[in-house]
Amino acid sequence: MTRSPSWRLAVAILIGILTVFLVQAGLTLLWKANGITWGPKNLPYAPLPQVGALSSAFIAGIMGPFVAVLIARRTALVLWVVFLGIGLAIDGFAALGPMQPLPMWFRVSWVSSVVFQVAIGITLGSSFLKKKATP
């Protein structure tokens, strides 16, 4: 019995989303091990925690779509829609809600970087796919 491409795509999306959260948690722990922390009750007001938060979110946001493309074995429009939609929804909510006390430049960077994260992740993932030979 062969599995349908839509089944593979659904699994790819779920694992991609899980990857974002796992990478974000892992990178946050690495920063914390070096004395740089932030979180819901500890917003990143100082420059170094801001760099840590932005860079960790950026790397995690790349890894999710990257893993999803590799699992799906294709770059489907639905991957763009799902990762952009979820990323913009979560980061937009955070920027308008819990991150409200932070500077505007930080919140704009936080939300606008989602587009670049998804684009880079999908592009990197697709570069690992086997290219079909053209006659």
What are the tens digits of pLDDT across the range 100-135? Answer: 999 999 999 999 999 999 999 999 999 998 876 566
Residue type, 13: I
Which pTM was predicted? 0.90
pLDDT at 84 over 90: yes
Q: What is the rounded average pLDDT for all residues in the chain?
A: 92
- How far apart (Å, rounded) are the C-alpha atoms in residues 101 and 103? 7
Which 3 state secondary structure label does DSSP give 55? helix
Tens-place pLDDT, residues 61-71: 999 999 999 99
Share of the chain above pLDDT 70, in %: 94
| Residue spans per domain, the chain | 5-127
Q: 109, 49 in Cβ contact below 8 A? A: no
Q: Can you state the percent helix, strand and coil of the chain, rounding each to 5?
A: 75, 0, 25
Alpha carbons within 13 A on the beta-carbon side of 16:
33
Q: State the average pLDDT over residues 38-66.
A: 93
